[in-house]
A and B are shown apart, each in its own frame.
Chain A
Amino acid sequence: MTTSSFMAFLPELVLLSGALVLFVLTLGESQGRQARIAALLTALATVAAAALCLGQHAVLFSGAYRVDAFSQLLKLVFASGLAFILLLSGRLPDIRDQIKPEYFLFLTLSVSGLVMLVSCVDLITLVIALELSSYPLYLMVPMRREREGQRSQMESAIKYVMFGVAATGIMLFGLSYLFGLTGTTSLPLLIVRLQPVIHSPPAVVGLALAFCGLYYKLAVFPFHFWTPDVYQGASNETAGLIASLPKIGAVAVLVRFVSLSPSDNQVIALLLTGLAMASMFYGNLIALAQKDFKRLLGFSGIAHAGYAVVGFVSLSTAGYAAALYYIVGYMLMILACFVVICQVSRDGTNVAIAELAGLHRRSPLLALTLVVGVFGLAGIPPFVGFMGKLTLLTSALAQGHLALVIVAMINAAIAIYYYLRVVREAVFGDPAGNQPPIALDWPTRMLCALLIAAIVAFGVAPEPVIDALAASLGGLNLPL
C-alpha cells in the first residue's frame, strides 16, 4: 500500500484498530467503563481521520473500493454519528455489565460496516459491507436485560434477523439479474453496460429487487414490519443506533443504485412514488395511535423513510442530494429524541409518552432538546427538518411530481398531531406524582447542546452541507 492509499483508507483503519482494541477488552473481566472510553476515543480518532481525509481520491482493492468526495463526506457523518451514539450510551442500564465490552465492540463494528459501505463500488463488497453493518445489530438487540420473565428483546431480535435475511436474499436475487444482464459486479462497468437495456423488464426488475435490501434498512413500506417491534424490544441506546446511522447508509447506497437508472425511467419513478406514498401514510396514520414513545418514533421513522424516498423519485442529482441532506438531518433529530428517552428512563425500561409529562420541570435542557427534535421532525422552520422537506419537495416538484408533493404535505400535516402530543406532555403537562428532577452528566449536556446547535444550524444555513453533498454526487459512479 502506498502512502496515498494508506491515507485514503485511514478512517477505516482507525475504526478497525479501535474494534481490535475493544475485542481485546472483551477477553478480560467485565471492563465496561474502559470499553466505553476506548470506543469513544476510537470514534473521536475516526472523526479526526475522516476530516483529515476529506479530499482523498483513490481506488483500492482492484477497483472494488472507491474513495471519493461522496464516500469521504459520509464517512465523516458516520464517525460523528458514532461519537453521538457513544455519548448517548453513557450508563447502558439495560445491558449487563459482563457484556458491555462486547456491546461496544459490536457497535463499533456495525459502524465500520457502514463506513465501508459508502465506498463500495462492487456488488460483492457492497453486500458484504451491508452485512457487516447488519450482523452486529442483530446481536445487539437481544443483548438487552431480561425483565419480569419478559423476553420481548428475543422476539424482536428474531424478527429483525428474519426480515433482514429475507431482504438480503431478495436483494441478492435482484443483483443476480443485473449481473446476468451485464456480466460484471463492478458498479462503474455496470452502469455503462446497463444503459442499452435499462428499460427492459429484467433490468427494471433487477434494480427494483436490489433496492429491497436497502428499503429494509431504511424501513420503507412494505419492508417496515420489524421497525416498531425492534425499536420497542431493543434497549433504548440500541434503538437509537438502529434508528439513525443505518438509514444514512441505506440512502447512500440507494443513491448509487438509483443513479444507475436514467432520469426518464418512468417505471422506477412510479415504483418509488408508490413506496413513498405508502410509507408516509402508513407510518403517520399508525403513529397517531401509539402510546410508547419508541414505537411512535418507529412508525414516524417509516414515514420519514417515505420522505427520503421522495428525493429519489425525481431521479436527479438535486433529489439525491436532498435525500442525503434530509436523512443526515433526520439522524440529528432522532438522536435528540433518543437522548431524552435514554435519560428519562433511569432503569432502561421503555418510555411511554405519558411518562414524559412535566419534563420541563424535571430537566429544562432535556425538554428543550425534545422540543427542538420533535418540532424538527414535524418540519417546522427554522429546524433542519423543514429545510430537508423543502429541498425534497422542490426537487420532486421540479420534475413535475405534483401529486407526490401534495401527499407529502398532507402527511406533514397529519404528523403534526402526534408530535404535538409529545410536546404537550413534555412542556405543557405537570409531572405525575413525585418525579425527581433528572440530573444530567456533562457528556449528555454536551450532546444535547451539540444536537440542538446542529439542528438549528443545518436548518438556518443549509447551503454548505447541501452544496458539499451535491458536489460530491457529481463524480458518483463515473468510471475512474
Chain B
Amino acid sequence: MTPTTSLPMLSLLIFGPLAAAAVAVLLPNDRLQRWWALISTSAIAAFSLPLFWRFNPDTAAFQFTEHASWIPWLKADYALGIDGISLLLVLLTTLITPLCVLASWRYITTRVKEFMICFLIMEAAMVGVFSALDAILFFVFWESMLIPMTLLIGVWGGPRRIYASIKFFIYTMSGSVFLIVALIALRIQTGSFSIPGMMGQPYTPDFQIWVFAAFFISFAIKVPMFPFHTWLPAAHVEAPTAGSVILASVLLKMGTYGFLRFCLPITPYATRLFAPYILGLSVIAILYGGLTALAQSDLKKLVAYSSVGHMGFATLGIFVLNAHGIEGATLVMINHGVTTGALFICVGIIYERLHTRDLSEAAGIGKYMPIFSGFLGVFCLSSLAFPGTNSFIGEFLVLAGSFGHSKVLTACAVPGVVIAAAYMLRMLQKVAWGGTRNPDHAGLTDIDFREIVTLTPLLVFVFWIGLHPQPFVRVMHPTVLHLIEQAGAALPPAAAALP
C-alpha cells in the first residue's frame, strides 16, 4: 500500500537543495550565505520528517514512488521511491546536512558561497542516490556527488588536500566504471534500467558472478572495505570538518546501501557464493581498523580508522544474510552516521581552538572545556558500543546475526569491540583528563551555544536509538524480510542444472 500523496516529496527533497543553491549564487555576503544555507537545509530537514510518519511500516513495497519518462531511447526513467532502509538513510542525510552547515560556521572563512553551493548540491545528490529506482538515475546521482566532494576536500581542506582529493576521486571513479558496465549489462538482459525490474530475474550463474564482481569493486571502494580503504584516512584527515562529517555519515553508506539495493536482490546466487569471502574481509576490516586506530596520534586519523572498523560491522551484518544481521547492519549504518559524524565535529571543535589535531597536544583540555568533555564522553562511549547507546544495539544485532551464521566468525569479530573500547577510552582519557598542564590551553573557551546546538541533536539520537530502537527497527523490518527472501532466491531450474 503506497500512501497516496499529493506532493512529490522525494523530488522536492532533491530539487529543493538545488533551488537553494541557485538562490545562493545571488546572495551578496558570507553572513547571508551561512544563514541562507542553514535556513534552507533546516527547512528541508523539517520537510523530510513527514516521510517517517507517513511511511507505512507494514509493507516492503517502495513508497512515495514517482515515475516519469526521462530517456525512453535508453529505457531509463525518472523513477523514485523508498523502502524501509532507504527511508532511514534519506532522513539521516537531510538531518545531518544542517548540522554540517553549523559545524562549518566559523571554520570556513574563504569562498563561503562556493562551499555552501557545493554542500547543497551534495545534499541533492545524496537524497537522489538513496531514492532512485532507476539505475541510470542512481548512477548520475552517485557520480554527481564526486565533483562537489572533491572540490570540498581540494579547496577547503588541509595541507595535503590536493593529494587526498585526487586520490579520493580516482579511487571512487575507477570503482564506478565497473558499476556502469554492470548496469548496462543488466539493462540489456532485462530491457530497461528499472532497479525493481532487475531484481529477481533468472540470470545465469556466470552472469551473476560477473555482475556481482563489478558491483562489489564499486561498492567496496565506497564503503570502504579492506583492502580498498586507503583513500579514506587521507580524505578524512584533509577534508574540512563538515566534509569529514558528510563523508563519514552519508557517503560511506552509499557503498553498503549499494550492497543492499543491488547485490542481494539482483545477484542472489553470486551473493551467497561470495558471502564467506566478504565476511572474512569484514572481520579483517574490523580488527585492522581497530588496531590501526589504536596506534594513531592524530585525532582525525583515529576516528577515520575507527570508521573502517565500524563499516566492517555493517558489511558483516549484511552478508550473514539473516534478519538480525541486516537490521543490525542498517542500524550500524545509521549509528555510524550519528556517532562518527559527532566525533568529527568534536575533533573539528578541538582543531578550531588549538589548530592541531595531535592527541598529546590536546591532552587535558577537559579541564577548560567541561561541557565539551561531556559531549565527547557520550560520543566516545557510543562509538565503543556501550550499552544504552545507539551503537550497542546495532553491533549487538550484527553479532547476534553472525552468531547464528558462524560461531568462529563471531569469535573473531568480538575482539573488535574490545579494541574499539581501548582506542576510544584512550582518546577520551587523554583529551578529557590527560596529564600535564599545557600553557597553550590557558585561553581555551568551552563550546558556545552554536556548537551545543550542533551536537545536541546527535546526542538525542545516541540515546533514542540506544534506549528505544523499536521505531527504527519497525520501519525496516518488512523490507529486510523481503530482502532476505530475495537473497535466498533459488536459481532458475535450467540454470541450476549447469555444473
Residue ranges of A at the interface with B (Cβ–Cβ < 8 Å): 371, 375, 380-382, 386, 390-391, 393-394, 397-398, 402, 405-406, 409-410, 412-413, 416-417, 420, 423-424, 427-429, 462-463, 466-467, 470
Q: How far is the CA of A423 from the CA of B165 in the complex (A)?
A: 11
Q: Which of chain B's residues have a CB closer than 8 A to the CB of A424?
A: 154, 162, 166
Q: Is B174 an interface residue (CB 8 A)?
A: yes
CB contact between A394 and one of B74, B147, B166, B170 (< 8 Å): that residue: B74
Pair A420/B169 contact, Cβ less than 8 Å: yes
- Interface code B149-192, partner A: CB below 8 Å = 1, 0 otherwise? 01100110000011001100110011001101100110110000
In this complex, the member of B139, B173, B178 whose beta carbon has the largest number of chain A beta carbons within 10 angstroms is: B173
Partner of B177, one of A398, A413, A463, A466: A413
B53 contacts the other chain (Cβ, under 8 Å)?
A: no
Minimum distance in angstroms from A394 CB to a CB of chain B: 5
Q: In the docked arrangement, what's the CA distance between A390 and B70, Å? A: 14
> A427, B155: Cβ atoms under 8 Å?
yes
Residues of A within 8 A of B71 (CB): 462-463, 466
Report if B486 contacts A (CB, 8 A). no
Q: Which residue of A lies closest to B153 (CB)?
A: A428
A427 to B72, CA, bound (A): 37
Which residues of B have CB within 8 Å of A381? 139-140, 143-144
A420 and B178 contact, CB distance less than 8 A: no
A416 contacts B147, C-beta separation under 8 Å? no
Supply 20 A–B pairs (Cβ within 8 Å), ascending by A: A371-B147, A381-B140, A391-B73, A393-B181, A393-B184, A394-B74, A397-B185, A397-B188, A405-B184, A409-B178, A410-B177, A412-B177, A413-B170, A413-B173, A416-B173, A417-B170, A424-B162, A427-B154, A428-B154, A463-B70
Residues B147 and A380 in contact, CB atoms below 8 Å apart = yes
The 8 tightest CB contacts between A and B, nearest first, are A409-B177, A381-B140, A428-B154, A413-B174, A381-B143, A413-B177, A463-B71, A428-B162
A-side contacts of B177, CB under 8 Å: 409-410, 412-413
Q: What separation, in Å, do the CA atoms of A428 and B181 have in the docked complex? A: 31
Q: Is the CB of A406 within 8 A of B170?
A: no
- B-side residues, CB < 8 A to A, are 70-74, 136, 139-140, 143-144, 146-147, 150-151, 154-155, 161-162, 165-166, 169-170, 173-174, 177-178, 180-181, 184-185, 187-188
Could you say which residues of chain B place their CB within 8 Å of the CB of A463? Answer: 70-73
Question: Which residue of the partner chain, among B73, B146, B161, B165, contacts A470 with CB atoms under 8 Å?
Answer: B73
Q: By the criterion CB–CB under 8 Å, are B136 and A390 in contact?
A: yes
Q: Which of B73, B151, B174, B187 is in CB contact (< 8 Å) with A416?
A: B174
Given contacts A382-B140, A393-B181, A428-B155, 17 further A-B contacts (CB under 8 A): A380-B144, A380-B146, A381-B139, A390-B74, A390-B136, A397-B185, A402-B185, A405-B181, A410-B177, A413-B173, A416-B169, A416-B170, A420-B169, A423-B150, A428-B161, A463-B70, A470-B73
Name which residue of chain A comes closest to B139, CB basis.
A381
Contact between B154 and A394, CB atoms less than 8 A apart: no
Residue of A382, A409, A417, A467 touching B180 (CB-CB under 8 A): A409
| Distance from A370 Cβ to chain B, minimum over Cβ atoms (Å) | 13
State in angstroms the CA–CA spacing of A380 and B180 once bound together: 12
Chain B residue at minimum C-beta to C-beta distance from A420: B166
CB distance from A177 to the nearest CB of B (A): 36
Closest to B173 in A: A416
CA distance A126 to B119 in the complex (A): 52
Task: Give chain B nearest CB distance to A285 CB in angstroms.
Answer: 16
| Residue from the list A394, A429, A462 in contact with B184, Cβ < 8 A | A394
| CA–CA, A391 and B147, complex, Å | 22
Q: Is the CB of A397 within 8 A of B184?
A: yes
**Minimal beta-carbon separation of B22 from chain A (angstroms):** 13
Asked, given contacts A394-B184, A405-B181, A427-B154, whether A386 binds B143 with beta carbons under 8 Å apart, the answer is yes
- Across the interface, B147 reaches (CB within 8 A) one of A375, A390, A410, namely A375
How far is A239 from B180 in the complex, measured between Cα atoms in Å? 33
In the assembly, what is the distance between CA of A412 and CA of B178, in Å? 11
Instruction: Please tell me which one of the listed residues B70, B73, B165 contacts residue A428 in the complex, with CB atoms under 8 A apart.
Output: B165
Chain A residues near B154: list those with CB within 8 A.
Answer: 424, 427-428
| A residues less than 8 Å from B165 (CB atoms) | 428
B136 & A427 in contact (Cβ 8 Å cutoff)? no
Q: In the complex, which of the residues A386, A390, A463, A470 has the most CB atoms of chain B within 10 Å of its own CB atom?
A: A390
A453 shortest CB reach to chain B, Å:
13
Do B144 and A382 touch across chains, with their CB atoms under 8 A apart? Answer: yes
Query: Pick the contact of A406 from B72, B150, B162, B181 — CB < 8 Å?
Result: B181
Residues of A close to B170: CB separation below 8 A: 413, 416-417, 420
With the chains together, A1 CA to B352 CA distance in Å?
A: 79
Question: Is B155 a contact of A391 with CB atoms below 8 Å?
Answer: no
Contacts of A417 in B (CB 8 A): 170
Give the distance in Å from the alpha carbon of A167 to the alpha carbon of B151 in the complex. Answer: 44
Instruction: Give Cα A423 to B150, complex, Å.
Output: 10
Distance in Å: Cβ of A12 to nearest Cβ of chain B: 30
A386 to B165 Cα, complex, angstroms: 21
Alpha-carbon distance A355/B262, docked complex (angstroms): 44
A448 to chain B, nearest CB (A): 15
CA A360 to CA B446, docked complex, whole Å: 37
A412: chain B residues within 8 A (beta carbon) = 177
* Chain A hits for B136, CB < 8 A: 390
Tell me the minimal C-beta distance from B405 to chain A in angstroms: 34
Chain B residues within 8 Å of A405, by CB: 181, 184
CA distance A405 to B187 in the complex (A): 14
Q: Which residues of A contact B181 (CB under 8 A)?
A: 393, 397, 405-406, 409
Within the complex, the shortest CB–CB distance from B412 to chain A, in Å, comes to 34
User: CA A375 – CA B161 in complex, angstroms?
Assistant: 19
Residues in A with CB closer than 8 Å to B151 are: 427
B residues less than 8 Å from A394 (CB atoms): 74, 184, 187-188
Given contacts A424-B154, A428-B162, contact A466 B73 (CB under 8 A): yes
Residue of A nearest to B136 (CB): A390
**A462, B150: Cα distance in complex, Å:** 26
What are the residues of chain A within 8 A of B140 when measuring CB–CB?
381-382, 386
Residues of B within 8 A of A371 (CB): 147
Distance to closest chain B CB from A235 (angstroms): 31
Which of chain A's residues have a CB closer than 8 A to the CB of B187? 394
Q: A380-B146, A381-B143, A428-B155 are in contact. Are A398 and B188 (CB under 8 A)?
A: yes
**Contact partners of B169 in chain A: CB under 8 A:** 416, 420
CB nearest to A425 among chain B residues? B162
Across the interface, which residues of A come within 8 angstroms of B72, CB to CB? Answer: 463
**A394 to B155 alpha-carbon distance, docked (Å):** 35
CA–CA, A270 to B450, complex, Å?
65
Tell me the smallest distance from the CB of A464 to a CB of chain B, in Å: 10
Point out the residues of chain B lying under 8 angstroms from A423, CB to CB. Answer: 150
Q: Determine the chain B residues whose CB is within 8 A of the CB of A413 once the complex forms.
A: 170, 173-174, 177
Q: Find chain A residues with CB under 8 A from B146 CB.
A: 380
Query: How close is A449's CB to chain B, nearest CB, in angstroms?
Result: 12
List, in ascending order, chain A residues with CB within 8 A of B178's CB. 409
Q: Which residues of B contact A397 (CB under 8 A)?
A: 181, 184-185, 188
Minimum C-beta distance from A357 to chain B (A):
12
**Chain B residues whose C-beta falls within 8 Å of the C-beta of A386 in the assembled complex:** 140, 143
Give the Cβ gap from B182 to chain A, nearest Cβ, in Å: 10
Q: How far is the CA of A412 from the CA of B380 in the complex (A)?
A: 42
Q: Which of A393, A409, A462 has the most CB of B within 10 A?
A: A409
Bound CA span A371–B184, Å: 27
A386 to B151 Cα, complex, angstroms: 19
CB closest residue in chain A, given B193: A394
> What CA separation (Å) do A470 and B173 show in the bound complex?
30
Instruction: Give the shortest distance, in Å, between B317 (CB) and chain A (any CB).
Output: 31
Contact check: which of B161, B166, B174, B180 meets A390 at CB < 8 Å?
A: B180
Closest Cβ of chain B to A73, distance in Å, is 15
| Residues of B with C-beta under 8 A to A409 | 177-178, 180-181
- Looking at the assembled complex, report how far the CB atom of A413 sits from the nearest CB atom of chain B, in whole angstroms: 4
What residue of chain A has the Cβ atom nearest to residue B154's Cβ? A428
Q: How many Å from the CB of B25 to the closest CB on chain A? A: 11
State the Cβ distance, A462 to closest chain B Cβ, in Å: 6
Q: How long is the Cα–Cα vector from A122 to B74 in the complex, in angstroms?
A: 33
Please name all residues of chain A whose beta carbon is closer than 8 Å to the beta carbon of B162 when the two chains form the complex.
Answer: 424, 428-429
